[in-house]
A and B are shown apart, each in its own frame.
Chain A
């Protein structure tokens, strides 16, 4: 469950997409993201999942699912398989990969030399003795050539930031799939237990019906048992609906639709692990790993370069030069010229202010994000510890105690001290404890995934907030900062 969390996905993806990968700039971007993730993962916390990796199929095959996906779907799902599938099939993630091309396009564009402009003019003089006159001129934007490295540098910095953003989306996609899978496991468990509780009420009702039939039980007791059954039925229906919701969330996280949504996931949530959380070094690691911070840093760099570029642009008089040829019918007269735009009014002051402000805003976002990362890390750590402790208490103390209570109640029943209704009541309490355990297990595994996610470099949208508090409240500042 620990170290191989992502590695399965990585190898599968490489296999799945290597065939489909053609040449071209897009491949370079995908490779860059993977390399970035791999390099970034070098310093990750021990026990955290390995970095995932992603790839894109060739343009011509963009509509198809990777060949591995049906094979994975044919088998019962587990958490690793769900993560792998999400990286194979999530179309939003693939869209982000394409969007990387937009930034790369800008880099390429920024690195292109301006085209020379050729002007040819013909003049027919009114003097019949004079011949047709031809002018030819070549004009070249020299300022642009001078500013080109600066523009390219800014675009490259932007591309680097985009790459980090997409790498983050890879992590987010895997995380969403993982958490959605845990949710499915938990909801299935709860549905089973709710059905068991219903069965207990039905058993009680069956006993009541039988005792009522032979005259041992008044109507009121029968009606009470019946009411309990009907209430339990609603709880089962609710649990069914919650499970369907959870399945749809996983379908969405992976990108499944139609027949592909008929997967099964028979395993229950695993018991809590004994966690070895390095509470002290955690914040440092999370900050070092933070893709959000890296992205903001990248964008700060780009903004800085843009400030420089715009400043240079503003100071540099607009320069263009050219050659000029004139043929008066007899001979060519050749000369050159330089045009200098005087930086008197437009010295790109506006663009400089914008770029400077952008830089300033990013600097503040950086600090805000670092604060959010720290807070999220601590929250995740607390959650893992608290939920883990509670889950272990359920498993090691409460559930055995409830089982013992049931066994003892059965002995009391054998001793004719209590009746069948009390036996069933004790059994239902065991079931309720099982439901509470399942909910706590889900909380634990979600917190584990969130902690791993923070340590892997993503702190946004972890869904860690306690019930009633919207997860948007966490790292909300970073949400807007990381936009593009």
Chain B
């Protein structure tokens, strides 16, 4: 179910609840009543989870058991226009679809292996019978190529979990085989949320011009993703001003933790994959560190409209396909180098001597199938970030948004070039020496 569908359902079911629930959400007064609440089909009117750039696994209920089918398979995946790779995923996508159930649900997952090697599925964080835990050799036989195994268990605990192989996990996860699991509580506590997003953070090593992630890489990851998309390929998160928003962050990166930072608001971490954090233990943050193999669930109510950056705060994680072999050019006089090199290689041009910003605007020809130094088009200039970067779009009327438009700033609320007279009046001397 995508965001539009759940919005429609939410609007139909939840219309009556709008007024009474508004205050209980703790939303700012001035917006109360203005926003339509959109309770979903889950207990307590909780909305369905949206997986930006992703999908939710289709489940069919039969005799009280929810049945799903995961097919492990090679997938051609586009990280963002310009970078396509031969990956491995589930059900034709990278990453696999989000599994969304309710606490207490009995499930039966068939897992078909279309990979060239065996696999298993480990239900990361889920408490279940040991034989269903999906660790090849330890708890089960590997699922051989072309075979289908079946897992059956009950989700006895609410929370946010993940799934991934536990056979040759180094390769299979490096090639994209991960997914999120959301188990809605049967009896939700606390304020109900309006929006619920699931994001998997992941890292990849794809050499510029190559077409397959390198599973052997241990430290040089150059493609960093939210739900297997690198900015500008990441779908923005569109939310309403005053809405309560939940973001479930799972990290299945090979080596790195990700300090995820959101602009324009503070949030609280409410859940981990271990369970719900007591209200008394919560504290406000603007950055949450999501360790490898962990889930952090955050909640917030934005009060400021706008297009807000949401990204990993490791600066190399918001670059696309930077390389190691590039010497530090900052401060160099390009002319001193260019005239000699260009005599031999006419198309050569010294770069980076004034820093690396704005590289995308230079439009240098780069290797096929690569997105180095690529960012996205912003309303003011190129946004020269990539990778684990997305935009939280806080809108007065989020349902009217398609996510592509930019925030219209009220007059006088955008930082701009200072007026020299005003500077002078304020005693600012731009030529001040120190």
A residues neighboring B (CB under 8 Å): 196, 199-200, 202-203, 206-207, 209-211, 213-217, 406, 408, 410-424, 427
Contacts and interface: CB of A to CB of B under 8 A. Distances in A.
Contact of A417 (B336, B350, B356, B372): B372
Contact of A211 (B332, B341, B348): B332
B323 A203 contact: no
Nearest to B363: A414
Nearest to A205: B340
A418 B323 contact: yes
Interface centre among B321, B326, B365 (most CB of A within 10 A): B326
Contact of B351 (A406, A416, A427): A416
Contacts of B356: 416
B326 A418 contact: yes
Nearest to A417: B323
B327 interface: yes
Contacts of B330: 214, 216
A195 B207 CA distance: 34
The 8 A-B residue pairs whose C-beta atoms are closest, nearest first, are A417-B323, A214-B331, A203-B340, A415-B372, A414-B364, A216-B328, A418-B325, A415-B366
Given A210-B332, A216-B331, A423-B345, A414 B350 contact: no
Contact of B341 (A203, A213, A416): A203
A417 B325 contact: yes
B208 A417 contact: yes
Contact of A412 (B209, B343, B352): B209
Contacts of B327: 211, 216-217, 419-421
B323 A412 contact: yes
Given A415-B367, A418-B323, A210 B333 contact: yes
A420 B367 contact: no
Contacts of A214: 330-333
A416 B367 contact: no
Interface of B: 207-209, 321-333, 336-337, 340-341, 343-345, 347-348, 350-352, 356, 359, 364-367, 370, 372-373
B328 A423 contact: no
A211 B367 contact: no
A411 B345 contact: no
A423 B336 contact: no
B207 A417 contact: yes
B340 A410 contact: no
12 contacts: A200-B344, A202-B340, A206-B340, A206-B341, A207-B336, A210-B333, A216-B331, A410-B347, A415-B366, A417-B324, A420-B350, A422-B325
A421 B329 CA distance: 12
A423 B322 CA distance: 17
Contacts of A199: 340, 343-344
Nearest to A409: B345
B352 A216 contact: no
Contacts of B326: 416-419
Interface of A is mostly: helix
Contacts, number: 112
A416 B331 contact: no
A203 B347 contact: no
Given A415-B367, A415-B373, A424-B345, 18 more contacts: A199-B343, A200-B344, A210-B332, A216-B330, A217-B327, A217-B328, A412-B209, A414-B351, A415-B208, A416-B323, A416-B372, A416-B373, A419-B325, A419-B326, A420-B337, A423-B345, A424-B341, A424-B344
A423 B341 contact: yes
A450 B243 CA distance: 90
A418 B208 CA distance: 11
Nearest to B336: A210
A221 to B, nearest CB: 9
Contacts of B321: 415, 417
Contacts of A420: 327, 337, 341, 348, 350
A427 B364 contact: no
Nearest to A408: B367
A410 to B, nearest CB: 6
A207 B337 contact: yes
A407 to B, nearest CB: 8
- Most chain A beta-carbon contacts within 10 A, residue among B341, B347, B366: B341
Contacts of A209: 336
Contacts of A203: 337, 340-341, 343-344
A414 to B, nearest CB: 4
Contacts of A406: 345
B337 A206 contact: yes
Nearest to B340: A203
A215 B373 CA distance: 24
A202 B332 CA distance: 17
B321 to A, nearest CB: 7
A427 B345 CA distance: 7
Given A211-B328, A211-B332, A413 B340 contact: no
Nearest to A422: B325
Nearest to A431: B344
B322 A416 contact: yes
Contacts of A216: 327-332
A431 to B, nearest CB: 8
A91 B231 CA distance: 80
A61 B364 CA distance: 70
Contacts of B344: 196, 199-200, 203, 424, 427
Contacts of A419: 325-327
A120 B230 CA distance: 129
Contacts of A415: 208-209, 321, 323, 364, 366-367, 370, 372-373
A413 B359 CA distance: 12
